[in-house]
Amino acid sequence: MKFKLGIYKILSSIKGNKTHLIANKNSKLFIEGFPRSGNTYFCAAFEFFNPTVVYAHHVHNIFQLKAAKYYKLRGAIVVRNPEDCIKSLIIRRSDKNFSQVIKNYINYHEFILKNIDSFFICEFNELIENPNNVFKSFNKYMKYEYFKEIDDGVNIKIKESIKQLSLNDKVSHEIGFALPSTSKELKKKQIQLDKSLLDEAIKIHSNIIKTINK
């Protein structure tokens, strides 16, 4: 009953004809992460090499992870340090309730930590700086070659597709793109977060990284 209720919550939160994004028995795999964690880059790279594969992604809801586990789907979750992740999300959504965003981050990542053996976890910086290492590990985890080598030309095409996705979502300024920018970094410096909550989020993220690096 709780599981079905969770799926209902996902359906209620998704706008437009995007229910195919939800993990289900027909999904080949899933790619997820808390918003602004870098899973858009992972997805864009995946779709570049696998344009016809049906997979679950971009729901950004803890029930998506529960659904993936329920259907025994294999897949990836991207995690990012909480300060950058949370500030980037606040900027993207113009969210005023900073503390609630941190609490959402904590709840999401607590679930990941408790179920860490069920997923392939990669860290944001490693994904952006060494994508071929991450994707090679993902191929090994999935026992299938979903990704091939990414050179500079392919990387440019992937980033262009990310920019186009943002424009399709009616994001008109680079500060809202799922790509780094100077203006976004300047905006982040103006945001002050609750230290105790942020410290809790940092601890959980750190424990996740320690666990996957064992």
* pLDDT recorded at residue 209: 96
* pLDDT recorded at residue 189: 76
**Which position has the token pair 């990669």?**
122
Q: Tens of pLDDT along 110-168?
A: 999 999 999 999 999 999 999 999 999 999 999 999 999 999 999 999 988 888 876 65
Task: Please say whether the beta carbons of 35 and 95 come within 8 A.
Answer: no
* pLDDT recorded at residue 49: 97
What's the whole-model pTM score?
A: 0.84
Give the span between the Cα atoms of 109 and 114, in whole angstroms. 9
Q: Tens of pLDDT along 29-80?
A: 999 999 999 999 999 999 999 999 999 998 988 989 999 999 999 999 999 9
Task: Please say whether the beta carbons of 66 and 118 come within 8 A.
Answer: no
Task: Please say whether the beta carbons of 77 and 120 come within 8 A.
Answer: yes
* pLDDT recorded at residue 20: 76
Task: Please say whether the beta carbons of 197 and 103 come within 8 A.
Answer: yes
* pLDDT recorded at residue 179: 56
| Dihedral angle of Cα 181, 182, 187, 190, to the nearest 10 degrees | 140
Give the span between the Cα atoms of 68 and 78, in whole angstroms. 15
Question: Which amino acid is residue 30, in one-letter code?
Answer: F
* pLDDT recorded at residue 12: 46
Give the span between the Cα atoms of 199 and 197, in whole angstroms. 5
What architecture is the 2-212 domain classified under in CATH? 3-Layer(aba) Sandwich (3.40)
More confident residue, 102 or 168: 102
Question: Which amino acid is residue 45, in one-letter code?
Answer: A
